Amino acid sequence: MQLDQATIAALAEHLENAELNATAVSKITDKHPDMDWEDAYAIQDAIRARKEQRGTPVSGLKMGLTSPAKIRQMGVKEPIYGFLNGLHAYRTGATIDTSSLIHPKVEAEIGFVLNRPLKGPGCHIGEVLAATDYVVATVEVIDSRYENFKFDLKSVIADNTSAARYVVGDQYRQVGGLDLRNLGIVLRKNGDVATVASGAAVLGHPAASVAMLANMLGARGKEIPAGVLIMTGGATEAIAVEKGDRIMVDYQWLGSVEMQFS
C-alpha cells in the first residue's frame, strides 16, 4: 500500500460523491500516481463500506474488461472486479432515469448465480459449472465517474469499475446442456443492431470469468458467496445511451433484456 488510511477514506468519499451527484471528476491517479493495486481495491472497499453503513444492500459482484471488445474500447488490459448495488437493480422492461447518471453506456453480460461459495486459488471452469445454480441474461449500465469516460486500471478499480445500474432478464436456466461459448447475443439500440457477441468473447467461456473472480478474491482472503448475482463482464463493447433510447438485447436460450432511458 502506498496511500494512508485517511487518503483512502478521502478518495472513497470523493468518488462516491461524484457518483451521488452525477458529476465527473478527474482520474485519481493524476494526483496519486504512486497508488498501487491494493490501494485501488481498498478505495473500492471503502466505498462499499460507506454504502453498507447507510443500509444499501450489496447484491452481487461483477467482473470487467473480460472481452476483446471491452479491452479494445477502454485500452486497459487486465480483468478487474467490483460490487453490485442492490438499489440499482432493475428487471427487464425497466425505465432508467438518465438524470442521475453522467454518461451512461450499456453492455451485454451473462450472469451466474451459485448454489455454494467458491474460493480460489485453483478455481476452474468445471468447478464453476458444478456450483452454478442458474445463468441469466443481464445488461450492465456503466457510468464512469471520470471525465470523458477515460481512466487507467487503478482509477477504474477505485471507482467500483464504473458500476451504475443493471438489468436482469426473467429466464433462469441451468447450465447442463447449454453451450455457453456459443450463446449468441444481439444488442439493438432503437431497433438497429448496434453490436453482437458470443459467450466465448468472455475469456473464452463466461464461466472462466467466474473462476477468475474466485481466484482474485481468494488471493485477498475472500470468496464468492452463494446466491448473489455475478456479472461476467461485457461480451460486447459498451454502447452510449441517452434519454429516449430503447435497448433490446436478445440472448440465445436466455430470452431478452429490454430497457428504455428517460
Shortest separation between residue 105's beta carbon and ligand OOG, angstroms = 8
DSSP letter at 225 equals P
Count of residues near ligand OOG by CB under 6 A:
15
Residue 74 binds ligand OOG, judged by CB under 6 A: yes
| Residue closer to Mg ion, measured from CB, 140 or 250 | 140
| Residue closer to Mg ion, measured from CB, 39 or 140 | 140
Sheet holding 255-261, edge to edge: 94-96, 255-261, 246-251, 184-189, 192-198
Residue 140 binds ligand OOG, judged by CB under 6 A: yes
User: Pattern 22-41, binding to ligand OOG, x per CB under 6 A?
Assistant: --------------------
Could you say which of Mg ion, ligand OOG, none residue 237 binds, taking C-beta under 5 to 8 angstroms by partner kind?
none
Q: Which segments of the chain does DSSP mark as H helices, in order?
A: 5-21, 37-53, 68-74, 125-130, 153-158, 206-219
Contact at 8 Å (CB) between 203 and 209? yes
Residue nearest to ligand OOG (CB): 64
Shortest separation between residue 64's beta carbon and ligand OOG, angstroms = 3
Rule CB under 6 A: choose which of 44, 85, 138, 162 binds ligand OOG.
162
For 66-191, strand residue ranges (E) read 80-85, 89-91, 94-96, 105-114, 132-142, 163-168, 184-189
Could you say which of Mg ion, ligand OOG, none residue 236 binds, taking C-beta under 5 to 8 angstroms by partner kind?
none
With cell 450499456, the residue in question is 106
Phi and psi at residue 216, to the nearest 5° = -65, -45
Q: Which residues pair with 186 in a beta bridge?
A: 196, 250
Could you say which of ligand OOG, Mg ion, none residue 144 binds, taking C-beta under 5 to 8 angstroms by partner kind?
ligand OOG
The footprint of Mg ion on residues 115-144 (CB under 5 A) is 140
Closest CA to 209 of 123, 93, 92: 123
Rounded Cα distance, 86 and 104, in Å: 18
Could you say which of ligand OOG, Mg ion, none residue 101 binds, taking C-beta under 5 to 8 angstroms by partner kind?
none
Residue 237 binds ligand OOG, judged by CB under 6 A: no
Rule CB under 5 A: choose which of 185, 194, 234, 254 binds Mg ion.
234
Strands 94-96 and 255-261, by their bridges, are parallel
Residue 159 binds Mg ion, judged by CB under 5 A: no
Inter-CA distances, 142 with 1, 65, 165, 237, Å: 28, 12, 7, 11
User: Which stretches of the chain bind Mg ion, using CB under 5 A?
Assistant: 140, 234
Chain residues that interact with ligand OOG, rule: CB under 6 A: 62, 64-65, 70, 74, 107, 140, 142, 144, 156, 161-162, 233-234, 238
